[in-house]
Structure 1
C-alpha cells in the first residue's frame, strides 16, 4: 500500500500589459493534514495484496494512539482508509499478556486526543460502550470484572494463518464482530478505560484495560 499525497499546482498565468508579458508566480497548494481520531478505520499490511483492518481505539496524546496488539507488530506502518500513513507501531504489549499496541503518530497528522482513565478496577454491571468500524457504537455492561488470563484464537491471511494468544482481559456483553478489534472501551463518563481484544460470541466481548500500558508508553 502506498502513501497517497495530492499536491495541486497552479499553472503560471500571463498578464499582457503595454510593457509586455508579465508572468505570475506558480502557487503550490499544501495537502491538508490527515485527521486521526478514535473509532476510525486503520489498515496494516499483512501481505503484498492483503491488509488487516482494525479500529483505532484511543488517541492518548498528540503523538500516541492505541489499538489491539493482534492488529500488527512492532515496526509496521499504520494507514487510514484512504491509504495515508498515520503512524507506526512502536510497541506491542502481547509479551506482557496485554492485547494493546502503541502507535507513534506521524508528525503531520491532526490528532483528536481522548479522555483516558488509566486507573485499574471495574465492577459487575458497570456501563461500558465502544465505537468500532464494523458495528458502530454499541453499549453494554461489565459481566466479569476480574482481570483474567484468557486464550483467544483467530486467523490471518498471512503466515502463520491461525493465531493464538493469551491476554489479560475484562468480560462484557458489548456487541462486536471482526474489524471492531482495537476499539476503545469507554465508561459512563466517556473516558477510554480499555481496548477491545476478542469475543467468544458477538455478545461476549473482552477488553484489555489501558492501565496495563506502562507509563513510559502513554
Structure 2
C-alpha cells in the first residue's frame, strides 16, 4: 500500500499506518471503533493513514477532514473497506470528515457531547494510532482559526489547511489525525487536527452541522 507522508503539523498520514456495546453483526464483518487505524485513498499510488475518531451511529463515524476527500474509500488495517467519506467540512474551515459506514459493519458507538464547552486547564485524553493513549489539558479554549502546514511525498508536496480549533497539551504525531478527544467522563468532545510548537489543535465536534451528525 502506498503511503502519503505529511509533517507533524498536518497529522493525517504516517509511516504506519468510553463506548457503547457493538451493533450486532456476524463474526466475518469488520468491527468499526474509535481509535482504530484507517487508510483513506488519496491518489492512485498513495493513501493517508489516520485514526478513526468517533463512531456516532451505526451508519456514521468521524475523522479529520484533511485525511480524505468526499468519495474516497476508507479501509481498516487489513485492507477491508469499512466505509466512504460522505462529507468533509475542511473547505468550510472545519477539519472534520464524516465516514459513511459500509453495510454489514459492526459499530461500537461512542458517547458524544455535541454541546461541549472548553475551559483552560480542562483534562482531555485521546488514543491515536501513533502515540497511543495520552492525556493533556486545554491550554487555550478559544475556538479560533488556526493554519497548519505540512509536506507530502505526493503532489502538491506542500500542504496547508485552516480550521477552527482549541489548543491542548496533548502529545500527537503523524497518523494521530482524526483521533477522538474525550473529556474526563469519556465523552468525545473534539477531533484531533494538527500539531504545532504550541501544542495539539482539537476541532470541537459542536461545530459540526446537525444535518451531518
Q: Same fold (TM over 0.5)?
A: yes
Residue of structure 2 in register with 1:77 after alignment: 73
Pick from 43, 49, 59: which aligns with 2:39?
A: 43
Does residue 197 (structure 1) correspond to residue 186 (structure 2)? The answer is no
Q: Name stretches of at least 5 consecutive residues in structure 2 with no aligned partner.
A: 2-25
Does residue 65 (structure 1) correspond to residue 61 (structure 2)? The answer is yes
Segments of 4+ moved more than 6 angstroms: none
Write the distance in 1 (CA, Å) between the matches of 2:103 and 2:43.
Answer: 26
Write the distance in 1 (CA, Å) between the matches of 2:123 and 2:142.
Answer: 15
Deviates further, 205-214 or 46-55: 46-55
Residue of structure 2 in register with 1:18 after alignment: none
Aligned 8 A contact 2:35 2:129 in 1: yes
- Bigger Rg over Cα: 1
Does residue 139 (structure 1) correspond to residue 165 (structure 2)? The answer is no
Q: Name stretches of at least 5 consecutive residues in structure 1 with no aligned partner.
A: 2-29
Aligned 8 A contact 1:46 1:158 in 2: no
- TM-score w.r.t. the length of structure 1 is 0.84
Residue of structure 1 in register with 2:204 after alignment: 209
1:102-145: CA deviation from partner (whole Å, max 9, x where unpaired): 00000111000000000142100000000000000000100000
Aligned 8 A contact 1:36 1:110 in 2: yes
- TM-score w.r.t. the length of structure 2 is 0.85
What is the count of residue pairs matched by the alignment? 189
Q: What is the root-mean-square deviation in Å for CA atoms of aligned residues?
A: 1.4
Residue of structure 2 in register with 1:148 after alignment: 144
Write the distance in 2 (CA, Å) between the matches of 1:45 and 1:70.
Answer: 12
Write out aligned runs for 1:90-109 (5 A). Answer: 90-109=86-105
Higher relative contact order (CA 8 A, sep 6+): 2
Write the distance in 2 (CA, Å) between the matches of 1:161 and 1:104.
Answer: 28
